[in-house]
């Protein structure tokens, strides 16, 4: 149709929930009826042929497996929280990345998952129950209203910030589930660009707020947008503040080929995914606070 470049059919990805099972046992079970391969980059991620439908498979309904895309899974892996850490997921519903964090932490330590929207906070609770994680506390409120100097956040070492975005990197049929309806990028060009600028202003505020927590060492800012205004421009706008607080940009998945748009010095640290990679359009950035007297840890 038209002159659009054909995009590769997307393989189906799934994430094994290591809180409930092992990758080996899921591979063994699924390979009885499907072609299954392990992803070469994201741990506990399996790749199945395009079109494989596992929605009602018992492994999915009982929470042993999450139908989560590879790009989405890169986000929590980039944050790399250690078991025992205190971690904040700032904009958490429906909670796929929250429960991925819990799995990466072997269920040890604590996660605070904040979600503004009441209905979506219920979905978040449901996702947490399905995952079996028992180290996640939910907060139904505005991340921007959390006082970063409140003693209950004094030990937060890592923050995942995956805020509302235009969703322009995601196929339309999945948007309803993933994003609030007011976030959908399905309007005309003029209203889309004014909405993207509003989102971008919120994203800059939220990222600046995340960087202000006193003990935070790692902050991941991610979107499922392809717009520069929500991605590189947000990171570039907060860089002076980040630098003044001792953060620098680190390079998540250095082996990945597609980096940020070359619009500022340092944008090669950023990560983008694209339908040309057989993935959805995501953006991932990672800020790491330099350890006293040492270099930023990757
Ligand atoms: N990380 C989630 C996942 O992987 O399942 C997806 C997050 S979605 C892109 C963004 C979420 O942020 C929405 O559920 C939205 O309601 C919530 N949100 C928007 N503004 C917020 C705010 N100021 N404080 C907390 N949550 C907010």
- ipTM of the prediction: 0.99
Tell me which of 73, 114, 165, 224 is the catalytic residue: 224
Structural domain spans, the chain: 12-66, 70-289
Q: How far apart are CA 233 and CA 236, in angstroms?
A: 5
CA dihedral 265, 271, 274, 276 (to 10 degrees): 80
Q: State which of 77, 91, 146, 209 you would mutate to test the pocket of ligand 1, scoring each by most atoms of that ligand within 8 A of its C-beta.
A: 91
> Residues 224-270: pLDDT tens digits?
999 999 999 999 999 999 999 999 999 999 999 999 999 999 999 99
| pLDDT value of position 284 | 98
At 191, the pLDDT band (50, 70, 90 cuts) reads: confident
Q: What is the DSSP string of 88-111?
A: EESS-TT-HHHHHHHHHTTT-SEE
> Residues 135-184: pLDDT tens digits?
999 999 999 999 999 999 999 999 999 999 999 998 765 555 555 555 55
Q: Is the peptide bond before 94 cis (omega within 30 degrees of 0)?
A: yes
Domains 12-66 and 70-289 agree in fold: no
Q: How far apart are CA 234 and CA 207, in angstroms?
A: 8
Q: Of the ranges 26-30, 228-232, 275-279, which one carries the lowest mean pLDDT score? A: 275-279
First-to-final CA distance of the chain: 43
Task: Provide the annotated binding site.
Answer: 91-97, 115, 142, 162
Could you say which of 3.40.190.150, 3.40.630.30, 3.40.50.150, 2.40.50.140 is the CATH number of the domain covering 70-289? 3.40.50.150
User: Ligand 1 centre and the CA of 249: distance in Å?
Assistant: 23
> Residues 44-66: pLDDT tens digits?
999 999 999 999 999 999 999 99
Nearest to 287 by CA among 162, 158, 165, 163: 158
Residues with CB under 6 A from ligand 1: 72, 91-97, 114-117, 120, 142-144, 162-165, 179-180
Report the predicted TM-score, pTM, of the whole model to 2 decimal places.
Answer: 0.92
| pLDDT value of position 9 | 78
Mean pLDDT over residues 99-119, rounded? 98
Superfamily (CATH) of domain 12-66 = Sun protein; domain 3 (3.30.70.1170)
| pLDDT value of position 173 | 55
């Amino acid at each position: 149709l038209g002159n659009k470049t054909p995009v590769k059919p997307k393989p189906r990805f799934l994430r094994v929930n290591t809180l409930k099972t092992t990758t080996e046992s899921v591979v063994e079970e699924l390979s009885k009826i499907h072609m299954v391969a392990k992803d070469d980059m994201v741990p506990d991620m399996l790749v199945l042929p395009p079109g494989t439908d596992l929605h009602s498979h018992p492994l999915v309904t009982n929470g042993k497996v999450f139908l989560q895309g590879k790009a989405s899974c890169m986000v929590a892996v980039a944050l790399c929280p250690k078991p025992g850490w205190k971690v904040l997921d700032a904009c958490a519903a429906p909670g796929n990345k929250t429960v991925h964090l819990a799995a990466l932490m072997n269920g040890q330590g604590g996660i605070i998952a904040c979600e503004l929207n009441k209905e979506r906070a219920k979905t978040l609770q449901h996702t947490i129950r399905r995952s079996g994680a028992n180290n996640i506390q939910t907060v139904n409120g505005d991340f921007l209203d959390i006082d970063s100097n409140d003693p209950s956040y004094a030990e937060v070492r890592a923050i995942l910030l995956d805020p509302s975005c235009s969703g322009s990197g995601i196929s339309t049929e999945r948007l309803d589930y993933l994003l609030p309806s007011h976030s959908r990028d399905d309007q005309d060009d003029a209203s889309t660009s004014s909405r993207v600028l509003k989102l971008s202003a919120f994203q800059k505020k939220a990222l600046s707020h995340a960087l202000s927590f006193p003990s935070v060492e790692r902050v991941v800012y991610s979107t499922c947008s392809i717009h520069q205004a929500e991605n590189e421009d947000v990171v570039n706008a907060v860089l002076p503040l980040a630098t003044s607080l001792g953060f620098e940009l680190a390079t998540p998945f250095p082996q990945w080929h597609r980096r940020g748009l070359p619009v500022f010095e340092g944008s090669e640290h950023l990560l983008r995914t694209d339908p040309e990679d057989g993935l959805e359009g995501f953006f991932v950035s990672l800020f790491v606070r330099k350890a006293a007297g040492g270099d930023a840890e990757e």
